[in-house]
Structure 1
Amino acid sequence: MFKGFKEFIAQGNVIDLAVAVVIGAAFTAIVNTIVEQLINPLIGLLFKAENLDKAFIVTVGDAKFGFGPVIAAVISFLAVALVVYFAFVLPMNKYKARQAAKNPAVEEPTLPSEQELLIEIRDALRKNNAS
Structure 2
Amino acid sequence: MKGFKEFILRGNVIDLAVAVVIGAAFTAIVTSLVTNIFNPLIGAAFDAASLDESLVVTIPTLSGKSADLLFGAVIGSAIQFVIIAAVVYFCLVLPVNGLLKRTFARQKAEETPVDVPPTDVELLSEIRDLLRAQNAPVTASGSHAAPVADASDANTANGPLGSR
TM > 0.5: yes
Q: What residue number does 1:25 align with?
A: 24
Unaligned residue ranges in structure 2 (runs of 5+):
61-65, 112-164
Q: Which residue of 1 aligns with 2:95?
A: 91
Higher relative contact order (CA 8 A, sep 6+): 1
Q: Which amino acid aligns with 2:107?
A: N
CA RMSD of superposed structures (Å) = 2.0
Q: Deviations over 1:94-122 (max 9, x none)?
A: 11111211223x9xxxxxxxxxxxxxxxx
Q: Distance in 2 between matches of 1:90 and 1:12?
A: 24
Helix, strand or coil: the match of 1:103?
helix
Larger fraction in helix: 1
- Partner residue of 1:124? none
The gaps in structure 1 that reach 5 residues or longer are 107-131
Q: Indicate the percent of aligned positions where both proteins have the same amino acid.
A: 55
* Secondary structure in 1 matching 2:48: coil
TM-score, normalization: structure 2?
0.58
Amino acid at match of 1:38: I
In structure 2, what is the equivalent of residue 47 of structure 1?
Answer: 46
The answer for the alignment partner of 1:70 in structure 2 is 74
Higher alpha-carbon Rg: 2
How does the TM-score come out when normalised to structure 1? 0.71
Regions of 4+ moved over 3 Å: 4-7, 9-12
Match of 1:82 among 82, 86, 104: 86
